Amino acid sequence: EVQLVESGGGLVKPGGSLRLSCAASGFTFSSYSMNWVRQAPGKGLEWVSSISSSSSYIYYADSVKGRFTISRDNAKNSLYLQMNSLRAEDTAVYYCARDDSEWGYFDYWGQGTLVTVSS
């Protein structure tokens, strides 16, 4: 059974940093691109970042470019999101999602981890 479990969320002050993790199991993690998608309270889904299976290709939404860094450790079956210079508008539930690289859809999602940026 495919499982994605996010962790690392919490309360952080504006300008602060946080590192999210996503532990994957039940599939060959090193064969899939992965993504972070966020959802602000009461709002819609926003794609944040993606990373290819071997980390060769990395992309970011303009809203987080230069502040967030996506990475992965295939030996540990883990995906990460380093978030720096956090702003109030980064407050959201952050989901990791597996990418079907051929079609571009997200077939499995984690349960999400809440990041709150507030003083």
Partner 1 sequence: QSVLTQPPSVSGAPGQRVTISCTGSSSNIGAGYDVHWYQQLPGTAPKLLIYGNSNRPSGVPDRFSGSKSGTSASLAITGLQAEDEADYYCQSYDSSLSGSSVFGTGTKVTVL
Question: Whole-angstrom Cα distance, residue 33 to residue 106?
Answer: 10
The two tokens of residue 92 are 């959201």
Shortest reach from residue 47's CB to partner 1, in Å: 4
23 binds partner 1 (CB under 8 A): no
CB nearer partner 1, residue 39 or residue 91: 39
Q: Which residue has the tokens 């077939």?
A: 107
Of the candidates 67, 77, 109, 114, which one interacts with partner 1 according to CB under 8 A? 109
103 binds partner 1 (CB under 8 A): yes
Question: Whole-angstrom Cα distance, residue 102 to residue 96?
Answer: 18
110 binds partner 1 (CB under 8 A): yes
Of the candidates 57, 87, 89, 118, which one interacts with partner 1 according to CB under 8 A? 57
Per the CB < 8 A criterion, the answer to whether 22 and 9 are in contact is no
Per the CB < 8 A criterion, the answer to whether 86 and 15 are in contact is yes
Which parts of this chain interact with partner 1 (CB under 8 A)? 35, 37, 44-47, 50, 57, 59-62, 95, 100, 103-107, 109-112
